[in-house]
């Protein structure tokens, strides 16, 4: 190929790979959720067997290694629930806050129409302590929306410190278990994850944890030790935010090259990131937001047809993580918060930006931002974030990003 022709071809190649990467687990090549060799059958877009299961901690309960995240409009998408069960995805995760209760209502309508399926589902829901810790009436409301008498697992939603797991919380969880409303109890966390896991390993009444865990974080020494500590004590571990997307959307050549490499091997970089997490056998399940059947099918295929990532594959992920570290908030919110003269939920604001830039879901970003303390926007406009920025291990441009969030979520 002449040099000038090759040069002209490069933008089209780059655009193709960028689009494929952006679509990710959606329809990319030939209508499939991910590229397959030409000889593959049309059925390759769908799982060839049920999604495998792993035992959830010391509970002895087997759950699917892929969990259906319920942060979407289940009310009008019940076909997703039917396909999830058909493909062996029996771990369903939702929360009071998802869609203002519509996610729980959607699952509840499913159980109302198909009550025989309730025993087949490992049902999880969550309540945020930001709305208060008088959980009993709110749990009752969740159970009513879900059309069930009990949850298989309850999470205190989005803690940032293990100190939030108080003796009163322990007493409440044990009372709810005694009443048969909860089988297992734990928490989810997006921030200060290592600290929360380390603390949980010392609390025998914590049964499960959902936490941010991905190819960027899983090789960090403190994270590895914290995960091991929880695993040794029998806590069931669910990974979320496994794509490692950050508050800044990267558009690097490394990302494009990575997408192209994995597509040549028969799967997307999105699926490769899932496989990296499944490679850690201490993780019971990956909770993934799967708002349509294409994504659900692609994730299920990746779970069933796991191709162990090679050493060079993992090296490529490590290289990408290193080159884009300043795009990603690693969740160590205590560091930047303590650098401020006044407390600001920087970590949570970063998560809102991630929803906007990576999920491309501005509505979710704004609704999440609205759950933050009322004075947050005022503080973003008024405070100097220089010290927080200088303290950030990821070298994130915190000041610029806080101003962007203030403008975007006004």
Query: Which run of H or E residues covers position 53?
Result: strand 53-56
> So what's the pLDDT on residue 250?
63
Under 8 Å between Cβ of 313 and 361:
no
Report DSSP letters for 227-280, one per residue: HHHHHHTT-EEEEE-TT---SS----HHHHHHHHHHHHTTS-HHHHHHHHHHTS
Q: How much is the average pLDDT of 54-76?
A: 93
Whole-angstrom distance, CA of residue 190 vs CA of residue 348: 8
Q: What is the pLDDT of residues 25-56, one digit of tens each?
A: 433 322 233 333 333 333 368 999 999 999 99
Q: Where are the domains of the chain?
A: 48-319, 329-408
More confident residue, 305 or 26: 305
Angle at 297 between CA 68 and CA 27, to 5 degrees: 125
More confident residue, 410 or 142: 142
> So what's the pLDDT on residue 257?
78
- Place 1 in a pLDDT band, splitting at 50, 70 and 90: very low
With both helix axes pointing from N to C terminus, report the angle between 253-264 and 311-323 in degrees, rounded to the nearest 10.
160
E strand intervals along 251-376? 285-289
Query: Which run of H or E residues covers position 295?
Result: helix 293-304
Mean per-residue pLDDT of the chain: 88
Under 8 Å between Cβ of 183 and 153:
yes
Instruction: State the pTM of this model.
Output: 0.86
Q: What is the CATH number of domain 48-319?
A: 3.20.20.100
With both helix axes pointing from N to C terminus, report the angle between 167-178 and 135-146 in degrees, rounded to the nearest 10.
40
Neighbours of 410 (CB within 10 A): 9
């Amino acid at each position: 190929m002449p040099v000038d022709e090759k040069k002209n071809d490069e933008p089209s190649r780059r655009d193709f790979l960028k689009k494929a990467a952006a679509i990710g687990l959606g329809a990319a090549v030939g209508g499939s959720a991910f590229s397959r060799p030409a000889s593959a059958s049309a059925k390759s877009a769908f799982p060839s067997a049920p999604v495998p299961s792993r035992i959830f901690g010391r509970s002895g309960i087997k759950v699917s290694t892929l969990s259906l995240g319920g942060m979407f409009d289940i009310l009008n998408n019940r076909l997703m629930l039917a396909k999830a069960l058909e493909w062996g995805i029996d771990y369903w995760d939702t929360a009071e806050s998802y869609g203002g209760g519509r996610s729980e209502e959607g699952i509840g309508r499913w159980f109302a129409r198909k009550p025989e399926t309730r025993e087949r589902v490992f049902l999880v829901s969550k309540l945020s302590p930001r709305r208060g810790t008088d959980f009993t009436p709110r749990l009752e409301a969740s159970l009513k929306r879900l059309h069930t008498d009990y949850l298989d697992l309850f999470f205190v939603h989005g803690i940032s410190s293990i100190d939030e797991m108080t003796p009163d919380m322990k007493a409440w969880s044990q009372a709810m278990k005694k009443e048969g409303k909860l089988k297992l109890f734990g928490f989810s966390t997006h921030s200060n994850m290592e600290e929360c896991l380390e603390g949980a390993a010392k609390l025998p009444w914590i049964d499960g944890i959902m936490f941010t865990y991905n190819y960027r974080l899983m090789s960090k020494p403190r994270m590895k030790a914290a995960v091991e500590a929880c695993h040794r004590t029998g806590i069931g571990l669910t990974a979320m935010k496994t794509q490692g997307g950050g508050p800044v959307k990267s558009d690097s050549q490394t990302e494009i090259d990575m997408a192209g490499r994995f597509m040549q091997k028969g799967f997307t970089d999105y699926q490769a990131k899932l496989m990296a997490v499944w490679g850690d056998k201490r993780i019971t399940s990956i909770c993934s937001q799967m708002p349509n059947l294409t994504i659900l099918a692609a994730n299920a295929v990746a779970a069933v047809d796991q191709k162990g990532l090679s050493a060079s594959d993992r090296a490529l992920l490590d290289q990408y993580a290193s080159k884009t570290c300043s795009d990603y908030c690693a969740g160590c919110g205590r560091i930047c918060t303590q650098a401020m003269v006044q407390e600001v939920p920087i970590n949570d604001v970063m998560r809102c930006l991630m929803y906007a830039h990576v999920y491309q879901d501005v509505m979710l970003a704004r609704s999440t931002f609205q759950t933050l303390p009322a004075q947050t926007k005022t503080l973003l406009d008024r405070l100097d974030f220089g010290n927080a920025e200088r303290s950030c291990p990821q070298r994130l441009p915190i000041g610029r990003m806080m101003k962007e969030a203030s403008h975007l979520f006004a």
